[in-house]
Structure formats: C-alpha cells, structure tokens
Structure 1
C-alpha cells in the first residue's frame, strides 16, 4: 500500500481527454492503457477522468482494481468554440482567484490570440467546475494530480491545487500542447502561470525540454524530460531482411502525418522495379487520397489495415515480419509508434522533427530525413535501406532494439514519473 506523509492514502487524479474511454479519438492516449497498470501500483486509489468522454460512456480497456473511471462529459463541438471564446473573455470578471491569477500572469495582444485564450480558459473552467461537483460526490480527495497534456487539463490541475492544497500536480507535454507554432495563432495560453503552479512539467523529449526553457526561462528546476515508453515487445531483431521489402507505418491519416506522400514514394519505388509490401495501420480523412496514390502499383502492394486498439496493433507486430518502419510527419513530439517499432527491432526512416532524433540515430538504427522532404527523398531513403548488405541490415535491427532498451522501456520510465509525483516522499516540499 502506498503511504504519503501523515499515513494518508495516496490518491491520484489522472486527467486526460478520452482515456479510459478512448475509441481512437486521441491516438496518443493509447499509451495510458499500458502505463496505468504500472502507475496504479504506487497509489491506493486512482480516479481516471476522460474529461471529454460523453457522460455514461463505458471504458474501452481493462483497468486495475483500484482505478475508477469517470467520463466527465465536457467535450465540445466546433460550434461551441465561438461561445467558449466569448465566455472566456468574461471569466476574469466573474470567476475566482485562480482564474484571475491566470489572466493576470500574461499580456496578450491580437484579437486571434485573445479569442484563443478565452476559448482555452473557458474550456478548462468547464472541466474544473464539473470536477468540483464530481470529486466531493465520489468522496475523492486527490493527493496527487497528473495531467497527461500541458493543455487545458493542466490548467485544471493547477486550479485544483488551490482547492486541494496537499495535492502535488504534474503535467506531461507532447506536441500540440507544447509547441506554440502548431496552433493557428502561434500561441499557447498561460504557459508562465502553469510553470509556476505545477510541481513538475514533463516534456516527452529533450527537444521539448529545451524549447520550454528557451521560451519561458526561470523554471528550469521543474522542467525535465520524461520519456514515454512501451511494454516489453517481441525481440525480432534477429530476423533477416526479407524480399519483397516489407514496410510498415502507423498513424492517423491526417495532413500532418503525410501518409499520401509515403504512398507516392512507394509508387516511385514500384516504378523503378523495387518490390515493396507496404502496410499502414490507422485511418483518417486522407485515407482515400493515400489509397488512390497506390492505384497504379504493379509489383508492389499497399494494405490499409485501419485503426486498431493498441493490443491488437502490437499483436500484428508480433505475428508478422516487417523490415522497415517509416514516419514522414511534419511535426512530432517523440512518437510512440517509433518506440514500438524499435522495441521489435525494426529500423526506422523518419523525418527529423521534434524529438525523433533522440531515438533514431541516422545511419545507426535508421535514416533521418529533413522535415520538408518530398516523395523522391522518402523513396531514396527506403531504397538506401533496401540496398544494405545482410550484415549491415542485421546491425541496424540490433541497434533499433538497443535504442529501445536504453531509453524507452515502459516500467523504467513510469518509475521516473512516480518520482516526480513524490509518492514515496522523494521530491516532497520542492
């Protein structure tokens, strides 16, 4: 049993968008399906809140016995955004100390940025108000709060530390919630306020840590890289390279992931006479575009396997042989999909964006491409891999597995999160 100061039960409030009610709406939160089993052992009770999951929803994954799910029902449609922005503009006049402090912490110019801040704050306030009703009803007094995102749920966590002064709050940071240039107004609200209120901010890459420290200096003592990780994967690094070349990719089929670009690269290789069997896991609005780009394949094949639950996806990796994993996103944090591939001993071709270079070492366990690469560049990197000798290919497979073993084991990395939460007394009072 986990005990904190004063022999009080350790109760963790976990704030996510959809987990544990994630039907694929938030792909990155599939990570929590694996983390929760380890994280929950450090607490007596855990309340896992899908803040945007519809009320009454049913969990989509198995949960440990001490984890209670809560679907908060605070999702919003695109129609709600204008209303939320308007509400947010009035919040400093009608809300409590925490909201006023957040607004007073920064000066924002520009109608677009002000509207986005209002939307952001109102969205957080709706979630905070809903939790203010649910936590007493459930008799759940959190001693620790963990926001999976450095976004509106992190603001909720910051405000809750005023209502629950014993609570220690931390937030992870990934991509859209971290890099300001990924928003339509190149701005993320309340960064300084969040950094001052949270006990730790945990970017999932060193690139993210450096970005925070460069843009919001003065908080370096509470910003530290906390890699995500994957559970033990089948080590397939000893498998020889196959013919035809089996390429795999895994992502939502949306603009930032550029799956149609990869499809065009496969078509170029096919036209050159290289036989490729490409499998893509995931779906999205650009799926038909990607499928159409492969309609002229003659020697090669393209299989679009659709979106799978994480357990099913990892089962696919275990049951099938893949020679190369490819990711051509224009932006990333540090992709779980690459960690999973490396865990199986699959080399990687990827764009050098975000923290990708922290797991893919160019020429060692894969090849890195510039973010602005085109189909010809991707095709050239795949061709380069296909031309490796047997010994070189085997070396890359072993190096892929070694990169995972060194930095991306789930159990070891969750231990780091637990230390940041201070459950065992370490870091308390900092």
Structure 2
C-alpha cells in the first residue's frame, strides 16, 4: 500500500510569510524518504513558490475553500457545530466571550469556521480507504478540523507540529487558544519545540491558563 503524507501548512512553499520556510524546508527531504507520496496543502498561496523543485505535490484546493471568507460563514458554522458536538461548541463560545470578550469570541468563531472547512476538505478530497498521515503545520483550527475528520477513518492518522503562537497562551492577545485541551484528544502525535517540564506548557496542555 502506498504511504501518503498530507502536510497542511500556512503557506509553504509559497512566500506569503517567509518565516515558515525555515521551519518546513528542512523536513521535506526526510519526509520524502519516509513516504511514497508527499502532498503539501497550503492555506495561503500568496507570493512565489520558493521550492518549485521539491518533488512534492502541491494541492491548492484547501486554499480555495478557505479563501471564500465570511461569505460562507453561515454555511460553515453549522458544520462546525456538528463536528464538535453542540455542547463543546457552545461551551467554548460562551467561555471565549465571558473570559475574553468580543475578541475572544471572534477568535473561537474563526477557529470553528476553519475547522469546519478543513474537515469538509479532508473527507471530500481524500479516499477513506487510503492510509494517510495528515500533518498540520501548525496546531490551529485546521488541526481541529482534520482530526475530527479522521476520527471515523481507521486508516488516517493526524499529527501536528507546534512551536510558539499555537503553543503558549501568553503569545496571543487576549491570551486564549480555542478548544484546548479538546483539540489534543483526537491527535495521534504532537511534536513540540520545548523542554520537558516547562510549567507554562504543561499548564497550556491541560487548559489551565485563563
């Protein structure tokens, strides 16, 4: 059976944000040696392709779905409620607003929309009979969406890479990352850049920072 890795990035190999290139590029070689097929699905395709000869397949279908923006918000939110379960979804929105006000609520809704889009994209784009590893770069609403999609697909695994803004609450204003710790439950593996025993990270993973 062909082994397939689907790497979902913010923008790599496109140069919308040059900072992501230095993180992702070093991983491409080892990943290509490990998997028969490597597909890169960026969320943003702005700017030139900086690695046109990487040998990876580039899939822009997720970009197109996300690019529809607020026009599809009303259609995607019901999908987010369905995939998250009503109790978790509305509890998160309530917590976001009570603790962090309108900005917190807006972030939770934005994450929910992106999760719904990513879940729909994964299930409609890939064959559920195929063995696929979905690898998200970074741990955001996209991760929540594909992990929910993979929940009922035995052949799919989901891993995520997390570094800073998507790992530590205090990197954000307000200091809030939606759907924590629920987003961790459906993941098969989390790769982080941190020292074991880091008290801030340990609290973050348990959802204890408010």
Interval containing the TM-score (normalised by the shorter chain): 0.7 to 0.9
Distance 1:94 1:128 in 2: 9
Greater relative CO, 1 or 2 (CA 8 Å, sep 6+):
2
Where do 5+ consecutive residues of structure 2 fail to align?
none
Residue 118 of structure 2 is matched in structure 1 by 127
Residue 89 of structure 2 is matched in structure 1 by 103
Residue 171 of structure 1 and its aligned partner are, at CA, apart by 0.9
Would the aligned equivalents of 2:7 and 2:39 in 1 still touch at CA under 8 Å?
yes
Where do 5+ consecutive residues of structure 1 fail to align?
1-7, 219-430
Match of 2:130 among 132, 141, 155: 141
Match of 2:19 among 27, 46, 70: 27
Residue 50 of structure 1 is matched in structure 2 by 42
Residue 216 of structure 1 and its aligned partner are, at CA, apart by 3.3
Residue 115 of structure 1 and its aligned partner are, at CA, apart by 2.0
Would the aligned equivalents of 1:105 and 1:192 in 2 still touch at CA under 8 Å?
no
Residue 159 of structure 1 is matched in structure 2 by 148
Residue 18 of structure 1 and its aligned partner are, at CA, apart by 0.7
Distance 1:166 1:185 in 2: 38
Distance 1:142 1:181 in 2: 37
Match of 1:13 among 6, 14, 26: 6
Tell me the secondary structure at the aligned position of residue 169 of structure 1: strand
| Count of residues in Structure 1 that have an aligned counterpart in Structure 2 | 199
Instruction: Indicate whether 1:73 and 2:63 are aligned.
Output: yes
Would the aligned equivalents of 1:14 and 1:48 in 2 still touch at CA under 8 Å?
yes
TM score, norm. by length of structure 1:
0.40
Residue 140 of structure 1 and its aligned partner are, at CA, apart by 8.8
Distance 2:96 2:130 in 1: 38
Residue 190 of structure 1 and its aligned partner are, at CA, apart by 0.9
Residue 60 of structure 1 is matched in structure 2 by 50
Q: Deviations over 1:119-146 (max 9, x none)?
A: 111123223333433335xx99352121
Distance verdict in 2 for CA 1:133–1:16, change over 3 Å:
same
Question: Once superposed, what is the RMSD of the aligned Cα atoms?
Answer: 3.3
Q: Deviations over 1:134-184 (max 9, x none)?
A: 335xx9935212111011221133123125332221111111111222222
Would the aligned equivalents of 1:203 and 1:209 in 2 still touch at CA under 8 Å?
no
Residue 208 of structure 1 and its aligned partner are, at CA, apart by 9.0
Distance verdict in 2 for CA 1:15–1:105, change over 3 Å:
farther
